[in-house]
Structure 1
Amino acid sequence: MKKRIIFALILLGFSSMSSQIVLARELFTVFYGNELSLGFTLAGWLFWIGFGSWGIGRLRASGITHKITVFSLAQILLSLILPLSILAVRFIPRAFRFVPGEIIGFIPMGIITFVLLFPVCILSGFLFVLGCEIYKGNSDQARQIGNVYILEAIGATLGGLFTSLYLIRVFSPLHIMWLLGALNLLSGGLLLAGRKILLFSTAATLSGYIFLLVSGGVGFINRYSLNKQWRGFEVLASENSVYGNVVVTKREDLYSLFVNGLYDFTVPDELTAERSAHFPLLEHSFPKSALLIGGGVSGQLGEVLKHPVEKVDYVELDPLVVDMAKKYLPANEPLSDSRVTVITNMDGRRFVRTTAEKYDVVMMSLPEPYTAQLNRFYTLEFFTLVKNLLKERGIFSFCLRSGPNYLSEEQVSLYAGLKAALEKVFPEVKVTPGESNYFLASKQKGVLSLDWRILMEKLKKRNIQARYMREYYLSNELSLERVDSFEKRLARAQAQGAINRDFHPVAYYYDMALWASQFGRAFGRIFGAVTPVGIYFGALAIYLLLALPVFFKAIRRKIPSLGVLTCVATTGFAEITFQIITLLSYQALYGYVYYKLGIILTSYMIGLIAGGWLITKRLNQDTNHSLFIKTQAAICVYPLVLPLLFWVFSGLKGNFSFWLGANVIFPFLPIIAGFIGGFQFPLANSIYLKSIKSDVGHSAGLTYGLDLFGSCLGAALTLVILAPIVGILQVCILVAGLNLIGLFLLIEERRRK
């Protein structure tokens, strides 16, 4: 029976991590995939698991008579909920009448996310606490909790790696959840030995799962649910790669491509294709070489080839986008042109940093900086990298969408910050007014012109036929009055706005404010009201609130080991923050390399397992409190070292330092943070169990719940507010201060005993 319990606990971690990855990706296909939607997903996941362990598990687990039977029945229930959760996500648009690709408000987004994640996460949290009750590997209660914590972490590590690197490449999300459900049915059945009726029912259900999987029934359900999700469109294909979900739809003669549920482009769309190519290329007197980052399959590449270019490099991160475009979209002959080199599985920023090529024109056709991943293409540091690969009189361009005659305050803030960053790098910068605002930057002064007459003259000399790049349109859009008015408004905002940087990614916060303003001016004002000064005062208020027990004896008496419990919560906040800022910094410095990000997440779990295993084997009640204080001190120091490390590697030059940072330092840096967190959790349970003589379920539920509640707050606040508004350095200092308060409480607690 012990081996079956160990398998069940490892499977719990595997199922939790795997389903988190799959559900997060599915939710991205429904919601506008900015940092707010990711924050909601992470926060909802951590909150409900925390509630399941703290609220339900802590209060109910110890009172259950037949614990193993209840554990197995909970696994069986989880096996049913997992595939149903995918179907629920896909039927959201139909239930709420959302149009595919529509931007959904953050209030319905938050409600829907929290409701959808509730059943899976509640059960996962409850199963962890109940698992601590049924695991009898050691008579010592603290070691019992520590061992379960390690087993669950092993499962989570395996689940994260296997799902990210294999399952999502081979199977649809519904098939993955179906397989997880079958595994949980198998585990539940193994634990029901001796209960014949329940065992027979479980075996029959598992047989049904396998039959539907083998017979193609799951595939039919998958196709049916996709068609319902994309109602009004003919779904030509929906496939997953390690980078995301790509859907190609058809409506009449128009073909559209959606990436992670968000509209990317439609073909044919001659207006966008012409403008994106001709504006930057006409600014150059004689472009021979060009680099296109994204957008090549949307028609832009064909327009680029109308110019006298001899070489075009087209970089696309996800090869699935190119493959599906070739298979389903019309007019993709430019991809086969002898002048074109298509580079896939390569992050655009990484290519810009590492290539030895030089270009006359660099065109970036990526979505707006609505996520931290995209934001790194709009920073001062990236603009500097682009300038270094431009030839003399070289030109760089990108485009943002707006209204033809109106810019909101949120748009002005975003545009002004990006223009200010460009002007720090390039001697000459111009932005076109209109529905699409093209940012043009030149390596030399006197190259750029927004005079439509000059642009038309070059177009005629090159004998280029264009439908929308014509005098009829440009004479109005680029009139002197419109250009002058637009430039003056941006100039006024630039004096107050912050410059977008790698370690201070303010642009994606501005973009979130712009997104929120679409659902009411009040929402935009809420984002606009958050300032660095307000954050610092808020942090000070939280510090003072947490320090209150030092001055009020009644609080200390009411909550035993308050210092330890506070540190568990602040460590949860810190650990998720460390993960986020390490991922943000890695992407900024080395580009988006999916398997390396998987290694970063896995290395954290390896550290967690190692720390938990080491302390679980050496728990000693006489020295636990002293060790806990030292561990908390390490959590205070670690965030102060991180920004120094980021700064050092951002300034290093040369291939060896690049290789060292990308392949050794950053991927395995989280092992340290994971080790500290894994080391602290069993210690906290040992101290708490000694202080109140509690049972295993109560202690495990309380500490695990506090850890996850802290992580919930850390994920939401760091992603959405702290990192973009105050920057990574200040976030690290704030986190160090938060944990310093916990250390202060611990020392005071020890002194008074």
Structure 2
Amino acid sequence: MRRPGVNDKGSAGAPLPARMPSFSTVALFGATAIVAQVLLLRECLVVVTGNELFIAVFFGCWFLGIAVGAAIGSAWQVRRERLVLLVPAFLLLQAVLLPVLIISLRDVRSRWDLPARELVPFFPLLRMAIEHLCPFSFLTGLTFPMLCRLVAAVEPTMRRAGGRAIGLVYAVESLGSLFGGAAVTFVFAVYCQPLTGAWVLGVLTALNLVWFLTSAGDRPARMSPVAAAVFVGFLVIAASPMRPAVERWSAALRHRAYGTGFEWLAERHTPYQHLALARLDEQYSLLSNGQFVESFPDPYAISQRVHVMMSQCDPARRTANRVLLIGGGESGALRSLLLYPALRIDYVEIDPQVLELVRPYLEEPDQRALENPRVRIFHEDARRFVQRRLAEHGDEKREAGGGRQVGKGEKQGAPDGRYDAVLCNVPDPSTAALNRFYTRDFFEQVRRLLGESGVLVTSINSGVNYFDRELLDYIGSVHEALVQSFGHVLATPGTRAFLFATARDDALTSDIEKLIARFDRRSISDPFFSPLYFHTAYETDQLQLVNRSLHRSLGSTRPNSDLEPVTYLYHLRLWNRFSGARSQRFFALVERYDWRWVMAACALLLAARMVTGRRWPMTSDRAAYRHAAVALLLTGVAGMVASIVLLLLFQNFHGYLYRDVGLLVALFMAGLTLGGLLASRIGRSEKRALLRSIGVCALAFGAFFLVLGILVTCHRAGWLPGKIVGHVGFFYGAMVAAGVLTGAQFPFVGRLAVACGRDLGRAGGALECLDHLGACLGAFLTGIVLIPVSGIAATLGVFTAIEVLAGLSLLRAALATMDEKR
């Protein structure tokens, strides 16, 4: 029996689906978008070797596709009988497209001849994002205005108040995104490979569309066999031996970029990263997110590295009894460290699956080193470990923390719980996750954890004989942070410079004979190392050149810090070398950005608006709608800025964004849902009241940025209000609050559009376009310009000013509308 429907003019028209299948389709539409977003992001990070600078490009292209699709969808006038068919067709196309895009991403490096060991240049990276993200997000934007029209036709109350349909679809879509984000975090990221998640999502989408089509009447039901066929196809792949076979085939496509000769032994998606282990001849290589991390066995190189790092620990002062090793212990560093008599080692590795993956392939001495009673292994973020040890300072009985595997010898070492040396054995600060171990904030925490003559040792890629401006800034930002934290820093020459830092002025030496005597005094017998290597590591002329160049840059180079991660900017410069001349002009413009210009412009615009408000009140329907549309665009920008800032701060403080990105995005979507529902149901629908509501939302967003900026500044200064920023619950609540402020704006502007005489479908698509265009701009600006150049605190200040300007302008327009009525 066919279900009667209502067309745009209110007369009987084409059949419509039932209410529940329609709303379940909207919710699944939102879940599909967020699951696809996270799965594609994780695959892209493997392609770009974990470089989070790509996140800005990713979100920018994702929201650009949605904006273009929404613009076309709002202008596309679709008849009711075709609408009920097009929506399922687009959703089925998305379900099929997702696994195709994942497989294509795995083959992109070999297909485009991009060597696996090199950075992806900027323009190929942009092309990759456009080709692999925009098709899916375009369909998302194209479908949204059609769902608005569909819900307005299905829901009787929406036909009487069409403006609320936009807010309702927005809220239900965000609710689906919430469940999708939770599914990615707690199910797909833990138990499933990305392709398995895509198959499962396809099964759910096709099954829901079968229900949707059969409830819509005879004609739409004719399409249900197509959805049923897709459902069966995805189910067969997901539940049969075809699934692991397709996974192995697609993984082989990714491995082609590394050349021939590699035997790929194991591959895992952990909550923290994508791990892979390969063998070439007798050499094993461990990869994290596509980036080579360690190669083993390589006893000569590992021994040289360890003994150079330990060379500044003077046994005469007993500064080599207790060592903290951050990273790299799985490749042989522990075996070399255990040659030092009476040395106690705490080894921190956040991901337990790293050792599980490599342990069967380690040489027997390295396996024994992992079981040595002088070694304790902690599986937690190294920065969290340092903070925990500082909190437990002086209480050795409480140091059996969360990740410890080996618990022998707890009371050995320095009596006050301090370390004699901290060896930071991590790759270069080329990503946000790694940059955390090269900031002034981390160095200051380590200094408090070291003993009186304790030494911090880290390293960074360098030049042998020459420092140009780009390389000097890159290394100098870390050197400056070390000098400000410790006071005394010594750098070694070579393609990889070791940086030794201590608070004691006589603790560091470059005297080669003294270093050789110090090594001999320890009576260490290592067949893979000769103390004569110190002549190479500390070559006098080159060492003086390096340290002289770095000391000359003191004061002129900005120190790297959590709130001002300038190494991002300097890494952008180095990345620029791989990008060709076309991008050099762009990055030159990026470096010229000054946040004070934006603040001054906002002040001038606000003053001009207040002065000219009476002469040009902007009270017409067109002016009011445009005013609100600009506010929505700015809200899209602000929502993305808030999200990226909170994600980066979360990673800085907790170190496992890869695991929790789905949950954090889901909490943002929960806020969008709550804000959308509240704004759809509260307030009057007359123009003046809606303008006032939109203005209040903008001011509230400005207050959010202001409070967040104050809290992170207090945290940096060590003041009491800033302590809340270090808690996980703060980030969960802040993401929800940012989502509420972002989500509340959209329904208010949608209701205002209808109150100003705009068509429902056109308005929904146009506003969806503006919202995501703003998010696109926010992603590019935040990740590539604002945070690298100005830092987090200045970025928050800029958007405080922008949102206050928008809010006061809207309140001025609402006041003018009220004066006009009087």
TM-score relative to the length of structure 1: 0.93
- Does the alignment pair 1:646 with 2:712? yes
Letter in 1 for 2:672: L
Post-superposition Cα deviations, 1:555-592, rounded to whole Å, max 9, x if no partner, equal 98976611100000111111111122223333434554
The answer for the alignment partner of 2:642 in structure 1 is 578
Aligned counterpart, 2:291: 262
Match of 2:128 in 1: 112
Q: 1:11 to 1:330 in 2, by over 3 A?
A: farther
Q: Which residue of 2 is the match for residue 92 of structure 1?
A: 108
SS in 2 for 1:561: helix
Match of 1:630 among 677, 682, 696: 696
Q: Is the 8 A contact 1:505 1:723 kept in 2?
A: yes
1:395 Cα deviation after fit: 0.8
Residues 198-597 of structure 1 mapped to structure 2, 5 A cutoff: 198-231=223-256, 232=260, 233-286=262-315, 287-331=320-364, 332-333=366-367, 334-344=369-379, 346-355=380-389, 356=393, 357-465=417-525, 470=530, 473-520=533-580, 523=583, 526-527=586-587, 530-531=590-591, 534-537=594-597, 561-592=625-656
Structure 1 position 13 matched with structure 2 position 30: yes
**Ranges in structure 2 where 5+ consecutive residues have no aligned partner:** 1-17, 394-416
Establish whether residue 617 from structure 1 lines up as the match of residue 617 from structure 2: no
Question: C-alpha deviations, 1:279-337, integer Å up to 9, x for none?
Answer: 23121123111111111112222221122243111111111212111134445312122
Instruction: Name the aligned partner's letter for residue 177 of structure 1.
Output: A
3-state secondary structure, aligned to 2:727:
helix
Q: CA deviation at 1:99?
A: 2.8
1:745 Cα deviation from its structure 2 partner: 3.8
Post-superposition Cα deviations, 1:37-88, rounded to whole Å, max 9, x if no partner, equal 11111111111112211x2211115556421211111111111101101111
**1:465, distance to aligned residue in structure 2 (A):** 4.7
CA distance in 2, matches of 1:529, 1:359: 45
Alignment check: 8 A CA contact 2:715 2:725 kept: no
Q: Could you say if the C-alpha distance between residues 49 and 525 of structure 1 is closer, same or farther in structure 2, counting changes exceeding 3 Å?
A: closer
Distance in 1 separating the partners of 2:724 and 2:589: 41
Deviation at 1:188, TM superposition (A): 2.2
The letter of the residue matching 2:440 is L
Tell me if the contact between 1:456 and 1:470 (Cα under 8 Å) persists in the aligned partners. Answer: no
Amino acid at match of 2:376: T
* Aligned-residue offset at 1:642: 1.1
- The offset of 1:405, in angstroms, is 2.9
Residue 466 of structure 1 and its aligned partner are, at CA, apart by 5.1
Conserved in 2, the CA contact under 8 Å of 1:291 and 1:312?
yes
Q: Does residue 145 of structure 2 align to residue 129 of structure 1? A: yes
Q: Residue in 2 aligned with 1:684?
A: 749
Pick the structure with greater CA Rg: 2
Range moving further from structure 2, 402-411 or 427-436: 402-411
Q: How many residues align?
A: 749
Matched ranges for 1:69-80 at <5 A: 69-80=85-96
2:265 partner letter: L
User: Is residue 368–residue 374 contact of structure 1 (8 Å, CA) maintained in 2?
Assistant: yes
Q: Is the 8 A contact 1:101 1:258 kept in 2?
A: no
Paired residue for 1:192, among 199, 213, 220?
A: 213
Residues of 2 paired with 1:714 and 1:123: CA distance?
21
- The whole-number CA distance in structure 1 between the counterparts of 2:254 and 2:751 is 49
Q: Contact 2:297–2:362 at 8 Å: present in 1 too?
A: no
Which secondary structure does the structure 2 equivalent of 1:212 belong to?
helix
Any idea what the Cα deviations from partners look like across 1:468-522, whole Å, max 9, x if unmatched? Answer: 7546654244222111111121122223111112211112221222222244477
| 1:22 corresponds to | 39
Give the whole-Å Cα distance in 1 for the aligned partners of 2:426 and 2:76: 51
Query: Partners of 1:502 and 1:354 in 2: how far apart?
Result: 18
Name the CA distance, whole Å, in 2 between partners of 1:294 and 1:599.
Answer: 26
Q: Relative to structure 1, is the Cα distance of residues 63 and 365 closer, same or farther in structure 2, using a 3 angstrom cutoff?
A: farther
C-alpha distance 675-80 of structure 1, shift in aligned 2 (>3 A): same
1:170 matches 2:191: yes
Superposition pairs for residues 640-719 of structure 1, below 5 Å? Answer: 640-651=706-717, 661-691=726-756, 693-719=757-783
Measured in 1, the distance between the counterparts of 2:255 and 2:285 equals: 12
What one-letter code is carried by the residue in structure 2 that aligns with 1:285?
A: D
Distance in 2 between the 1:468 and 1:475 partners? 16
1:71 touches 1:130 (CA, 8 Å); kept in 2?
Answer: yes
Q: Is the 8 A contact 2:166 2:750 kept in 1?
A: yes
| Separation of aligned partners in 1, 2:77 and 2:642 | 32
Q: Deviations over 1:185-204 (max 9, x none)?
A: 22222222234542223222
The offset of 1:534, in angstroms, is: 4.0
Aligned 8 A contact 1:294 1:316 in 2: yes
Q: Specify the alignment match of 2:409 in structure 1.
A: none
Farther-moved stretch of structure 1 (407-416 vs 592-601): 592-601
Cα distance 1:214–1:599, how it changes in 2: closer, same or farther (>3 A)?
Answer: closer
The two structures have a TM-score, normalised by structure 2, of 0.86
In 1: Cα distance, 2:522 partner to 2:585 partner: 48
Q: For the residues of structure 1 that align with 2:426 and 2:323, how far apart are their CA atoms?
A: 16
| Greater alpha carbon shift after TM alignment, 606-615 vs 455-464 | 455-464
CA gap 1:117/1:526 in 2 versus in 1, 3 angstroms: closer
Q: How far 1:658 moved relative to its partner? A: 5.5
Q: Report the residue type matching 1:480 in the other structure.
A: T
Change (3 A) 1:253 1:382: same
Q: 1:463 to 1:519 in 2, by over 3 A?
A: farther
Deviates further, 19-28 or 305-314: 305-314
How far apart, CA to CA, are the structure 1 residues paired with 2:530 and 2:599? 55
**8 Å CA contact retained: 2:595, 2:795:** no
CA contact (8 A) 2:712 2:793 kept: no
Residue 15 of structure 1 deviates from its aligned partner by 0.9
Aligned partners of 2:492 and 2:538 also within 8 Å: yes
For structure 1, the residue ranges without an aligned partner over 5 or more in a row are none
1:60 partnered with 2:89: no
Deviations 1:656-677 (A, max 9, x none): 9958851433321232222222
Q: Quick one: which amino acid aligns to residue 3 of structure 1? A: M
Q: 1:658 to 1:559 in 2, by over 3 A?
A: closer
